[in-house]
Amino acid sequence: MWKERSKQLKVEGKTLTQIYNIVQTEYLSDLNLKQVEEKVRPILRREAKKSIEKQEVVGVISDTHFPFVHPNYIHFLEDTFNKHKVTRIVHIGDLCDFHAISRHQTETTAVDAVTEYNLARAQIDLYTRAFPKVDLTLGNHCTIAVRQAATLGIPKQFLKDFPELWGLPKGWNIHEQFILNNVLYEHGINWVGKHGALDKATITMMSCVIGHSHSNGGCAYRSNAKSIVFGLNVGAGVDISAYAFAYGRYSKNRETLGCGIVFDNANAIFVPMGGKYFRN
């Protein structure tokens, strides 16, 4: 168990010192820190070697905001991922919308919270069947229920955890952020605007993939004499005519629908969803 925990912590981006301390506290409390390091380090080295040998082509699902996803988005994803021979899938966050229980004013045409949940759950079941193994980074909408409960003084221990709430299969792994093949994936809260993803990459000195900013889809690069990094914003996968997005009806920049493909830590693209998918 401590071996798998060590690997998980590495994927989450923890430092070696943090990994040693956490593993010692949780599993190897009978050993001193030096002994823990001697046991854990070879495991991490083998994992690093595996990741170098097997470069993943990552397909990135953008914000879906179930039940307000574009009806053809799933077909677009399946076709795009097959075309680029995707071997691993990431959902960049805002899996669900929680419009009915948001702190913002709900639309007068909105369905009640239970109906919205049931509609979202049916769509999530469809996507988990199509994509049984996914790494999901939690977005700000994903945590609305927890934050609303906190305002009433209800601890999160009284709530269902996220996978149980949405019936996610064991192949779906939940992260706040994680690193895969030296690329950082996170929802992108606080990294907004046209250059949000590239700003994040510049600050972290690592290629980054984010969502959150629905109107921005694209990949930009920055380099120095030694390396190159990219910032990839994957736009959104939502139905822009849904009432949940009525607040942006008159915005200067409307949603840009699409997904991301990451080939390695220096090469990624944004694939816009247009033509037959968008209009049919």
Q: Give the Cα separation of 208 and 191 in Å (integer).
A: 11
Banded model confidence at residue 14, pLDDT cuts 50, 70, 90: confident
Same domain, 82 and 145: yes
State residue 54's pLDDT score: 65
Same domain, 244 and 171: yes
Q: Is residue 140 predicted with pLDDT exceeding 70? A: yes
Q: What is the pTM of this model?
A: 0.78
Pick the most confident of 48-62, 125-139, 159-173, 240-254.
Answer: 125-139
State residue 133's pLDDT score: 97
Tokens 């920049």 sit at which residue? 253
From edge to edge, which strands make up the β-sheet containing 58-61? 172-175, 134-137, 88-91, 58-61, 258-264, 267-272
State residue 90's pLDDT score: 98
Same domain, 160 and 216: yes
User: How many structural domains is the chain composed of?
Assistant: 2
Same domain, 94 and 209: yes
Q: Which two tokens stand for residue 215?
A: 């109107």
Average pLDDT over residues 213-238: 92
Average pLDDT over residues 249-253: 68
Question: Among 255, 244, 240, 247, which Cα is nearest to 99's?
Answer: 244
Same domain, 15 and 76: no
Question: Among 51, 64, 4, which Cα is nearest to 211's?
Answer: 64
Banded model confidence at residue 247, pLDDT cuts 50, 70, 90: confident
Same domain, 46 and 65: no
Q: Between 18 and 220, where is the model more confident?
A: 220
Average pLDDT over residues 133-144: 92
Dump pLDDT digits (tens) for 73-97.
Answer: 999 999 999 999 999 999 999 999 9
Q: Which contiguous run of DSSP H or E holds residue 60?
A: strand 58-61
Same domain, 222 and 155: yes
Domain finish residue from 35, 52, 69: 52
Q: Between 24 and 62, where is the model more confident?
A: 62
Q: Is 272 exposed, middle or buried (0-12, 13-18, 19+ CB in 10 A)?
A: middle
Average pLDDT over residues 212-219: 90
Q: Is residue 253 predicted with pLDDT exceeding 80? A: no
Banded model confidence at residue 243, pLDDT cuts 50, 70, 90: confident
Dump pLDDT digits (tens) for 163-179.
Answer: 999 999 999 999 999 99
State residue 237's pLDDT score: 95
Same domain, 156 and 30: no
Same domain, 131 and 224: yes
Q: What is the mean pLDDT of the chain?
A: 88
**Residue 269 carries which side chain, given as an amino acid letter?**
I
Same domain, 64 and 105: yes
Same domain, 32 and 70: no
Q: Which domain holds residue 10?
A: 2-52
State residue 40's pLDDT score: 83
CATH, residue 60 = 3.60.21.10
Same domain, 45 and 117: no
State residue 206's pLDDT score: 94
Q: Which residues contact 81 (CB under 8 A, 6 or more apart)?
A: 59, 89, 259
Least confident segment among 45-54, 72-81, 157-166, 234-243: 45-54
